[in-house]
Amino acid sequence: MAYWLLKTEPEDYSYDDLERDGSTVWDGVSNNLALKHLRNMQIGDLALIYHTGKQRRIMGIAKVVTQPYPDPSLNDSKRAVIDLHPSARVSQPVTLEQIKQDGHFHDFDLLKLPRLSVVPVFEAHWQRLLEMGNGE
């Protein structure tokens, strides 16, 4: 299993929306590196849902439930999507500021490549983010 962080504008699609809908097609990824990461996702992988914009915080966890497949809304075989189900809301959203202040994350792509919308998460980072999200 691999771990990921997926960014979303909460005004467009939030973790609340994912919980309400029960599942979604995760689309709109166009950056080549982000698409490469998306294409590496496997069924069962877990992803942190991160609200961008003014919020800049991790809100919850989602589970990848399909292999990547071509975006059915586009006529472009390079643009891939996955389907997600909500898994769990974090009890305390983890802010970008908290992540920046924690010494565990000096090599985290969320900080090194801040414009990237699909970010791989090392297992050690994943565990630390879960601790922070559960108030530990």
Contact 79, 71 (CB under 8 A): yes
Give tens-digit pLDDT for 47-91: 999 999 999 999 999 999 999 999 999 988 889 999 999 999 999
Share of the chain above pLDDT 90, in %: 95
Distance (Å, whole) CA 32 – CA 34: 5
Domain boundaries, the chain: 3-133
Contacting residues for 135 by C-beta, under 8 A, at least 6 apart: 91, 92
pLDDT of residue 77: 85
User: Options 3.10.290.10, 3.90.79.10, 3.10.590.10, 3.40.50.720; which CATH number does 3-133 get?
Assistant: 3.10.590.10
Pick from 97, 115, 16: nearest CA to 57: 97
Q: What is the CA radius of gyration of the chain?
A: 14
pLDDT of residue 136: 62
> Parallel, antiparallel, or unpaired: how do β-strands 46-51 and 3-8 relate?
parallel
pLDDT of residue 48: 98
pLDDT of residue 76: 87
